[in-house]
Amino acid sequence: MPELPEAETIVRGLRPAIIGRVVEQTRVPKPDILREPRGRFARKVRGRRIVGVDRRGKNVLLRLDDGSVVAVNLGMTGRLLPFDSAPRGADRPGHPAVHLLLEGGGVLVFDDTRRFGTVECLSAAEWSARSARMGPEPLDERYTAHALREGLSRSRAPVRSWLLDQRRIAGVGNIYANEALFLSGVHPRRRARDLTGAEATRVHRSIRRVLRAAIHAGGTTIRDYRDASGAEGRYARRLLVYARDGEACSRCGAVIERVVFGNRSAFFCPGCQPAKSRGASS
């Protein structure tokens, strides 16, 4: 996905375009995107004013004037594209799934090629319960290295799998998990609980650094990701290991490797990220 930096970039782009607008009508050409009957979704959303746009983890949240929340999970290929009027020609999204028709003629389109995304309208209480099941926000100032270290210490899972679990930390996906572990000098397959305190601290710092840098660059476009204005993110060229298997490590020159576990590719530099912790006896 769209991971945290991509969701954040979309949110920032959407705010000036849709805050204050009223949803006049909905159109749902791909109802499997919704997690409820489209009539029910329509009744909850129709006539409501969008009073805020926020992010939680990888989710984009449209806050409505009755306290309810339209939660959008972008899946792998989801886009949220606002238009002043019905899009035509080259502008027209190729796989529109949900349209929110706005008073005054505008439209917010959720477009999703693979349809792994979801759109749902939750009451304030429902959203609160959902959010409570998600892990902390890594960029929250209250999220400390100590908190990350505590979390890691309770898991036998590989640290890369741990980072992808949204119940443990919200918003980190495969790209930034791999990049942060490279910056930390930690092999992706190391058991979470086996990381030293110093390693956990480096992972904490690296996650925050890479997420902030990616937000600054407007996210990473590998293929499908676009921001709210349809533009690509600029972080792809700054990736140090992700999808760079076979290339030389920019730091030590070793050949970057790709391994698959947990059903996902992991990328790492065997020189910078030894399989055993530094200083551990082998």
Name residues whose C-beta falls within 8 Å of residue 62's C-beta, 6 or more positions apart in sequence: 18, 50, 52, 53, 69, 70, 72
Contact 143, 171 (CB under 8 A): no
Q: Is 156 in the site for DNA (CB under 7 A)?
A: yes
Q: Is 277 in the site for DNA (CB under 7 A)?
A: no
- In 154-243, which ranges are continuous DSSP H helix? 159-164, 174-184, 197-216
Nearer to DNA, 85 or 263 (CB): 263
Residues forming the active site = 2-3, 58, 264
Only segment of 46-54, 179-187, 200-208, 215-223 that touches DNA (CB under 7 A): 215-223
Which residue(s) pair with 191 in the sheet? 158
Tokens 């992972």 -> residue: 203
Q: Is 237 in the site for DNA (CB under 7 A)?
A: no
Only segment of 37-45, 81-89, 157-165, 202-210 that touches DNA (CB under 7 A): 157-165
Q: Is 216 in the site for DNA (CB under 7 A)?
A: no
Q: Within a 13 Å sphere around the CA of 96, how many CA atoms are in the beta-carbon half?
A: 20
Q: Is 246 in the site for DNA (CB under 7 A)?
A: no
Please report how close the Cβ of residue 177 comes to DNA at its closest, in angstroms. Answer: 8
Q: Is 88 in the site for DNA (CB under 7 A)?
A: no
Q: Is 219 in the site for DNA (CB under 7 A)?
A: yes
Q: What is the largest CA-CA distance in the chain?
A: 68
Q: Within a 13 Å sphere around the CA of 262, how many CA atoms are in the beta-carbon half?
A: 16
DSSP secondary structure of 216-274: HTT---SSS---TTSPPPS-GGG-SSTT-TTSBPTTT-PBPEEEEETTEEEEE-TTTS-
> Using the rule CB under 7 A, which residue among 223, 237, 246, 282 binds DNA?
223
> Using the rule CB under 7 A, which residue among 263, 279, 281, 282 binds DNA?
263
Only segment of 19-27, 42-50, 79-87, 261-269 that touches DNA (CB under 7 A): 261-269
Q: Which residues bind DNA (CB under 7 A)?
A: 1-3, 6, 32, 57-58, 73, 75-77, 94-95, 113-116, 155-158, 161, 164, 166, 173-175, 192, 219-225, 233, 260-265
